[in-house]
Amino acid sequence: MFRTETTLRTYDKLYLDGAWVSPTVAAPPTEVYSAADGSVIATVPAGSPADIDNAVAAGRTAFATWSVTTPAERAALITAIADALEARADELAEMTALEVGMPRKLARRVQIGGPVMVLRSFAEMLGTYEFSREVNNSLVVREAAGVVAAITPWNYPLNQVIAKVGPALAAGCTVVLKPSDEAPSPVFAFAECCNSAGLPAGVFNLVSGGDEVGKALAAHTGVDVVSFTGSTAAGAHVAQAAGKNINRVALELGGKSANVILDDADLEKAVTSGVNNAMLNSGQTCAAWTRMLVPAQLHDEAVAIAEKAIAKLTLGHPLEDGTRLGPLASADQQARVRSYIDIGIAEGATLVAGGSDVPADLPAGGYYVRPTVFADVKPSMRIAREEIFGPVLSILPYSDEEEAVAIANDTDYGLHGAVWSGDSDRAMKVARRLRTGQVDVNGGAWNPLAPFGGYKKSGLGREYGEAALEEYLETKSIQR
């Protein structure tokens, strides 16, 4: 029995200067739709550039005192926010499941548990990070950069907020956040947790709204750092707007990551892991391994394993316990992904599983797309070169290791990737040759302290760990 939402979450105020306030300009609220059935499940206020002005002013005022707090004081408040989020984990997981589409059980672990762990890591880091050190006759000091403009996407709403706000607060910066309107509820809940944790007024500010709000924030003269996650095309516009103010810019953008399976790998494990990675969050993951590179002589065997793995990913309502793969986040996403599946078929790739037809046995109005696998994919095909951002995997055969590396690197992107081999030294050598920001070797586990970010058009700067903290610090040398 599919669950139908009957309670409408209504957010009618922005969070500015430590208080919930009405938008400056009266405007109809923005409706938020359920990924599962297309119904309206929440509304959020439509802010304006005037609200951005007020938020930045609050951030600048608060920066004077927040930037000189001790690391221990900041760590205590960051920990309190993490505690407040953890206390609401089940509620946050359900919000995320309905707005993004990830199955609730998985969302509880990935979309909520992971970000809370990341937030705690920044609190812990403040106990060991050296904000000053002696270099010959100089004292080299790392200081808070100022007011941070954070613009975040819908696919991992809480995670992408924490990946920016966590290190910014730890550094002593203040923040103005503009979240996506497609999955905003977890972000408004985050603001509530900041408030309940006692974060000082003006240190964190939240302004929801459309593109004009994001543009006003990215171009604001009162901002010192702009951090954006989203598409490469949008990232270019953000960088251009921020560049006029000579502001530092951090961009976490698109990906078309290669999963390189070498001829001596455990094929069953490598292919199955690759399928599951590509389908995480219904493929709505910038770092997903969407290109699976396999030796030509093992291509058909790999395809059979992939087909078996896909069959286990039960597509369904995100609140149903048996669901392994949920819907996409919006009607636009659904239409985009279905069009790419049709493109793959037209290009001559072999459709192994899935397809562009909408499943008839799922809730009407939901944004469902069947998990899809293409085989015999050529590197020149659009499905092998363009970011689809949906549950679509391309399997590409290669002749030898040199060609595998060449295909993996023949992309505009460089965000993530994987290498599988029975020889760990060989796998490491190939991993070093990949032009990408992260590589998992033989299923290496996610490390929240390791820098995450991209080469080429996948972005600038890094998130997570000390590298993220330093995105929000300035360096001063004092000679004596």
Handedness of CA 288, 290, 291, 295 (dihedral sign): positive
For tokens 């609730």, the residue is 104
For strands 147-151 and 225-229, give the pairing. parallel
Quickly list H helices, 198-266. Answer: 211-218, 232-243
Catalytic residue among 99, 252, 463, 470: 252
- Distance between CA atoms of residues 199 and 197, nearest Å: 6
Question: How is 163-200 classified by DSSP, letter by letter?
Answer: HHHHHHHHHT-EEEEE--SSS-HHHHHHHHHHHHHTPP
- Distance between CA atoms of residues 287 and 271, nearest Å: 17
Catalytic residue among 193, 194, 286, 387: 286
Q: How distant is the alpha carbon of residue 154 from its chain centre?
A: 8
For the question of residue 386 being annotated catalytic, the response is no
Question: How is 37-64 classified by DSSP, letter by letter?
Answer: T--EEEEE----HHHHHHHHHHHHHHHH
For tokens 């953000």, the residue is 238
296: CB partners within 8 A, 6+ apart: 397, 398, 399
For the question of residue 286 being annotated catalytic, the response is yes
What does the H/E/C string look like for 376-439?
CCCCCCHHHHCCCCCCEEEEEEECCHHHHHHHHHCCCCCCCEEEECCCHHHHHHHHHHCCCCCC
461: left (phi over 0), alpha (psi -120 to 50) or beta: left
Catalytic residue set: 252, 286
